[in-house]
Amino acid sequence: MKHASIQPPRAAARLAVLGLLTALALLLSGCGGGDDRESIVVYTALEPDEWPRMIEKFNEHHPDVEVRVLRDSTEIIASRFLNERNNPQADVIWGLALSRVAFFKSEGLLAPLGGVDTSHLRARFLDPEATPYWAGLSVWMSAIIVNAIELEGQGLAMPHSMADLIRPEYKGKIAMPDPNSSGTGYMFVNAILQQMGEADGWAHLEALDRNILRYTHSGARPTSMAARGEVPIGLSFGAWGFRHVAAGDPVKVIFPAEGSGWDMNSVALVQKDTIQPGARKFLEWTLTQEAMEHYAKTYPVVADQRVTEIPNGYPEDPEAQMIENDFTWLGANKDRILDTFRTRLSAD
């Protein structure tokens, strides 16, 4: 499989650490300024055009808290966080897939939410334990992003389902996020395995692999590739596809007929000897109606039951499009699934 971007696990880990150290230096340098503000570190996988404006809004309410942000793809952030478990650097995990955050909880790496008001959250967006350790923010769901011009030019039919994508005419026509680095990539793998069962699911993924031109580091990249005509089909998430639609790119967002895989951006406090007041202030603000209205500009379902806006382009009932998701199973089996993916789908 010459198209795969997957590195051998040890090499990938070394590259990830180097990249994250560089990113951390870039993002955190110049932030201190020597002022008297309380400083907190937030790890996120939210897209680069999402989180800066939200930090600005938070600081309008809490100018006394300096927020230092480290942003990368889901698995890169998760690997760093797990490597730091004996000396955690982050204060808050924000906008990271619940499939990973639930695992962090099981490993004892999160602190209880404490007295944070969660009464306005939909039930599925809150840790069901009597003492909750995480809260959900917004749902992102899988979509097939197609370049209509390229499809027509290459004489290809419009796909409408994941089943369509294993047809031989799509060989070398698809980009997909690498589940070893991207939460979106794992979302696609998870959806297939949960819907089809593991035996049929892995067979389907192997058939799909034959049509993949490239696995990408991020979940957004396949959409960008489709928009530029590098591939006629990108597997990504709906929110990013609609951004390209709004920009005038010749792409169409298709939600799979079988239903969409989905995950939940979530927020949690990191377990540390001392939890700073600023960390609690930030977490609490991410759950306010103001913050939820910001999420609702992009995502089809948000945690706050008072916020019901659905962005243009999504199904009228987005929750009906979402497959059944077992997040306990996801958290418990993720490492095994990623190991299997590397073994079965990363060899030339």
Residue 152's CATH number: 3.40.190.10
Q: Which residue has the higher pLDDT, 269 or 123?
A: 269
Judgement on whether residues 134 and 108 belong to the same structural domain of the protein: yes
Domain count, the chain: 2
Q: Is residue 141 over pLDDT 60?
A: yes
Judgement on whether residues 298 and 179 belong to the same structural domain of the protein: no
17 found inside a domain: yes
Please compute the mean of the pLDDT values over residues 282-289 and round it to a whole number: 97
Number of H helices, E strands in the chain: 13, 11
Q: What is the pLDDT of residue 10?
A: 36
Chain-wide mean pLDDT for the chain?
88
Phi, psi of 237, rounded to the nearest 5 degrees: -125, 150
Judgement on whether residues 177 and 154 belong to the same structural domain of the protein: yes
Supply the pTM of this predicted model: 0.79
Residue 50's nearest CA partner among 295, 310, 279 is 295
Residue 116's nearest CA partner among 293, 300, 284 is 284
The angle at the Cα of 107, spanning 102 to 111, to the nearest 5 degrees, equals 75
- Which parts of 112-270 are beta strand (E)? 135-147, 174-177, 212-216, 233-237, 251-254, 262-270
Judgement on whether residues 111 and 32 belong to the same structural domain of the protein: yes
Q: Is residue 8 over pLDDT 50?
A: no
Q: What is the pLDDT of residue 330?
A: 79
Judgement on whether residues 111 and 202 belong to the same structural domain of the protein: no
The parent domain of residue 92 ranges over: 9-139+263-316
Q: What is the pLDDT of residue 216?
A: 94
